[in-house]
Homo-oligomer: A and B are copies of this chain.
Amino acid sequence: MKISGRNKLEATVKEIVKGTVMAKIVMDYKGTELVAAITIDSVADLDLVPGDKVTALVKATEMEVLK
């Protein structure tokens, strides 16, 4: 299955912090830290644990540019 979201970064999960509703997923991508805020249900559904190889997905309209 292909996804319309344009930005796909192959990363490794480093840390997961779970709140009541949201969870912070810290990932390493080629030496750069990525942070996603997803629901704790997503963490359970994907059975995410540190060390997992994952893809960080970002829709093009959600990416800003700084110069």
Kindly identify which residue among B17, B19, B60 contacts A35, using a CB–CB cutoff of 8 Å.
Answer: B60
In the complex, the answer to whether B19 meets A36 with C-beta atoms within 8 Å is no
| Copies per assembly | 6
What is the interface of chain A, defined by CB distance below 8 A to chain B? Answer: 1-9, 17-25, 27, 30-32, 34-39, 41-43, 45-48, 52-67
Kindly identify which residue among B30, B41, B54, B62 contacts A66, using a CB–CB cutoff of 8 Å.
Answer: B54
Q: Which of A36, A61, A67 has the most CB of B within 10 A?
A: A67
Contacts of A32 in B (CB 8 A): 9, 30
In the complex, the answer to whether B60 meets A66 with C-beta atoms within 8 Å is no
In the complex, the answer to whether B4 meets A66 with C-beta atoms within 8 Å is yes
Q: For the complex formed, measure the closest distance between the CB of A39 and the CB atoms of chain B, giving whole angstroms.
A: 5
